[in-house]
Structure 1
């Protein structure tokens, strides 16, 4: 099941939850009939006079006050799982509420800011707010699993306990088709998880964007020199990891005059067609033009841990001359600095 932001009306946030095919009742109810509901009530076993009963505990049903739905009321959908996308966070689920625990306060501060950002971006209104607690306006959910549109309001709070820091999401109000009703435990658990996953997904997006920014900054500071590979052959050496350099190659190589045709990250190869750049390009980068004929070339990248080797072969599969590799070092350095 995934979230899709569909519509915002005033302060009411509306989300669409997609599901499997079939009608809402088919997804919520068991397929068999419910004849067991017509089973007569059990009666006490009547023993013949003088008989001694024998009891076996193997199949004894424990006494207790059990309550819950039966028949078509029973919701057979699997419980929703919290998307554990916050590194180091521990999920605690109790009484339908979801709490995410973190060890460091700065991590909890970051998650709290993520909550505020997510609510703002998704136009979820805030009824009241302090430094540690906020109460949301109505959030409406439409789902193929549900017959009517559902609405929920949440209390999101920051908490501390036993040198741990976290935030808790609690569903406090519920309505169906615009009518406020008591919320069932099933829906409480389900829609608390949905709201939690909006937070964890937004946090994960922030992490990925931050990683991309850091990778780009690392590329700007890559020293590029001549060196040799493990076999002693001349290669260009980029002093950064293979994964970091690979992310930036689609931006770097085209600026050098190469049109990318094929890429294979697992094999470390890029096939590209070269067309000589005009004089304006060489003046811009501030280096002399390279003596490279137009044609198709293959770049070979080697993972050397915290370094990456770069070699180039021509269309016949033969390595280009060492002098050409040396001429390409200042060009690569100049373009990387411009990124």
Structure 2
């Protein structure tokens, strides 16, 4: 007897646990409310006073854009998909019903609009999705057919998986703020074909359409975030590896040390190099390329022995200034005294040897 009860319980559990994806998205229970009709308003005889009726349970009127057919099994009770602003500086608009994300400019190396479009195109290419039309001037991109293999419904006792192809097309539109440092990217599902169920875009409900748009946009956002993190990792690795340096002249013809690296990569490496050489940075401004330092002497003079000295640099322990300037793919570092007069050939030669050594040392640490 007990074995029969256990067997029936396991069978019931198996059946109840095998609800289809569609069944899990709709309300369970009875739909008898669909057969309900509006009750007749209470008629009060003319000779009697009309009582005050409560409007507490009165249903609101449908909006003009509402779909009256979304009732019963056609009404999904799951929450709509959310846009995931994973990228630094990205956010969503509060209360927006669109599948849209906003990006803020965090990298001034190229226009924000180009960065976003390049990310979209890179994602499409990586996933072998064609582009039907691309109009950068109109800030519009339409994809070719996106084919997704969707699992089909089967009996609860069927343990084999079967899939069907579903084709979709998306449109991306971009809106750039007048100041050019904020751009929104919106995804729209513009075509849908499910040949097996003979389903087209007009038969896709509002929630499902929004979920499709959000999922596709989230994939692009994830690609954007991955690209930024990859670039940041590569940049850190490059900075840790070090750069070569040579004597030269800045754009004003003054003696300077030329670093074989771009300005953005040279700057963080330079701060560490100065510390190793015995300079304390008192103030700095990366936007203008100015550093105000004080030479206090190297904490350890092991490198001094390599260059024939055990006392560090042969310069006065005073305040100095450095001017860092962008020279194409190189960076010019000009050492100056406290009155902004550039070092002469003798002084710049004095600092060049340890500067070159530290700037080129891999995995330089404090």
Please report the TM-score for the alignment, with normalisation by the length of structure 1: 0.53
1:101 paired with 2:102, answer yes
User: How far 1:56 moved relative to its partner?
Assistant: 2.9
Q: Is the 8 A contact 2:242 2:361 kept in 1?
A: no
| Cα distance in structure 2, aligned partners of 1:145 and 1:91 | 34
Q: 2:169 aligns to what? A: 153
**Any gaps of 5 or more consecutive residues in structure 1?**
1-19, 223-238, 241-329
Q: Secondary structure at the match of 2:230?
A: helix
Which residue does the alignment assign to 2:30?
A: 33
Where does the alignment leave 5 or more consecutive residues of structure 2 unmatched?
A: 1-16, 155-163, 244-271, 274-356
**Cα separation, 1, equivalents of 2:47 and 2:40:** 20
- Residue among 158, 161, 181 paired with 2:201: 181
Which residue is equivalent to 1:212?
A: 233
**Residue in 2 that maps onto 1:169:** 187
CA deviations over 1:230-260 (Å, ceiling 9, x no partner): xxxxxxxxx69xxxxxxxxxxxxxxxxxxxx
**Cα shift at 1:107:** 2.9
Given that residues 27 and 77 in structure 2 are in contact (C-alpha distance below 8 angstroms), is that contact kept between their aligned partners in structure 1? yes
1:96 to 1:152, Cα distance in 2 relative to 1, 3 A: farther
How far the C-alpha of 1:205 sits from its partner, in A, is 1.0
Question: Contact 2:86–2:221 at 8 Å: present in 1 too?
Answer: yes
Q: Secondary structure at the match of 1:76?
A: coil
Q: Secondary structure at the match of 1:97?
A: coil
Number of equivalenced pairs: 211
Quote the residue 1:56 is aligned against.
54
Verify the 8 A CA contact 1:220 1:336 in the aligned structure 2. yes
What residue number does 1:193 align with? 214
Output the CA distance in 2 between the equivalents of 1:116 and 1:21.
Answer: 40
Q: Distance in 1 between matches of 2:132 and 2:92?
A: 26
Change (3 A) 1:57 1:75: closer
Tell which has more relative contact order, 1 or 2 (C-alpha 8 A, sep 6+).
1
Task: Give the TM-score taking structure 2 as reference length.
Answer: 0.50
Larger Rg: 2
Per-residue CA deviations over 1:171-210 (Å, capped at 9, x if unaligned) read 1112223643313211221111011111111011112211
Q: Is the Cα contact below 8 Å between 1:29 and 1:76 reproduced in 2?
A: yes
